[in-house]
Amino acid sequence: MNPTLPVAYDIAWSASIVVWVAIAVFFCVKVVRDQTLTPGSKLLWVIVIVCAPVVGVIAWFASADWRRRSQPLTAHSERESQSVR
């Protein structure tokens, strides 16, 4: 134990690492499950999210929203929208 560092400092750094790993794993799973991406783009997204989790997650949200708007409605999504009405 390092007497020059307070325990709260150690706990804060440990918690931030746990949060970083949780965010990286969660969004890597979301990327891998995305059916609209090619295998190469999935690999690129996983690398970006692992190397820069905050920027990578923000970029993923921005591009996912853009991809959703650019895709035409499918029969499945049309049925869902009709069942909601």
53-70 helix and 39-51 helix, angle to the nearest 10 degrees: 150
Q: What is the pLDDT of residue 21?
A: 87
- The more confidently predicted of residues 18 and 71 is 18
Cβ(49)–Cβ(63) below 8 Å: no
Q: What mean pLDDT is reported for the chain?
A: 78
Q: What is the pLDDT of residue 72?
A: 56
Q: How many CB atoms lie within 10 A of CB 65?
A: 10
pTM of the model: 0.61
The 10s digit of each residue's pLDDT in 34-65 is 888 889 989 998 998 888 877 888 888 788 76
Cβ(23)–Cβ(53) below 8 Å: yes
Average pLDDT over residues 4-9: 77
Q: What is the pLDDT of residue 23?
A: 84
- For 54, the token pair is 């905050």
Q: What is the pLDDT of residue 59?
A: 85
How far apart are the C-alpha atoms of 50 and 67, rounded to whole Å?
Answer: 21
